[in-house]
Homo-oligomer: A and B are copies of this chain.
């Protein structure tokens, strides 16, 4: 049966990325506590395609992923999948991005009630032939923000809302990536108040007053996070996006920032 994909191409164009998108697969993610959490992942897996070939082999991407279906994956496993893609697809560069919902444990601030909070996370791995493996972690952390202007000018009350910080980090060679749990905590420390799925009345009083005592603009959240990120040892690059789903508008306050650390 003819292999059309392997036939010669004469257009002279090397394709930067080609592969599969929106594939879903289950994986296991190592938790900070040392166990594993099952996640449902949405995947994009691509390679570069040399100008000599008409097409890549799409089924091989699925075949590579399949071996890890339902298995624990972290940085080393991401690199193995990329190495196999480079080899089996004759590519000079490969990229694998997986997104998944991950649950972290939360303890209500007064009652001590336990619950689990969902965070949208991403692992992105990149590998080029003869170069080091690059790994990026992305975590979206919801939190409460309370408006300093509204508090200042109003006789009572202050508008507040659900907000989201989207963080991506990349570490220098020789440094391990941070845990999802730690990145989430780092965001929550800079928020007007963290978010909890389960709050009893005494907790609700606590978070209401804490947010009121700790007003922050989207600019404050972003800047305080930048300062916190700069203190992380071994961090090479990060990007931040903060968004407040304003309670008084039908649109959002938004800020973003990206930084390479010397």
Q: Does A132 contact B (CB under 8 A)?
A: no
Bound-state CA distance A254–B19 (Å) is 5
Task: Determine if A217 and B54 form an interchain contact, defined as CB atoms under 8 angstroms apart.
Answer: yes
Is residue A166 within 8 Å, beta carbon to beta carbon, of the partner chain? no
A253 touches B58 (CB 8 A): yes
The quantity of this chain's copies bound in the complex is 4
| Residue interface mask A190-221, B partner, CB < 8 A = 1 | 00010111111110110111011000011110
User: Is residue A158 within 8 Å, beta carbon to beta carbon, of the partner chain?
Assistant: yes
User: Is A71 close to B, CB under 8 A?
Assistant: no
Residue of B nearest to A258 (CB): B16
| Interface positions of A from 17 to 44, Cβ below 8 Å from B | 17-26, 37-40, 44
| Cα–Cα distance between A198 and B20 once the two chains are bound (Å) | 12
A15 touches B223 (CB 8 A): yes
Distance in Å: Cβ of A115 to nearest Cβ of chain B: 6
CB distance from A260 to the nearest CB of B (A): 13
B250 touching A195 by the CB < 8 A rule? Answer: yes
Q: A207-B159, A227-B11 are in contact. Are A144 and B247 (CB under 8 A)?
A: yes
Q: Which residues of B contact A247 (CB under 8 A)?
A: 144, 160-162, 211, 247
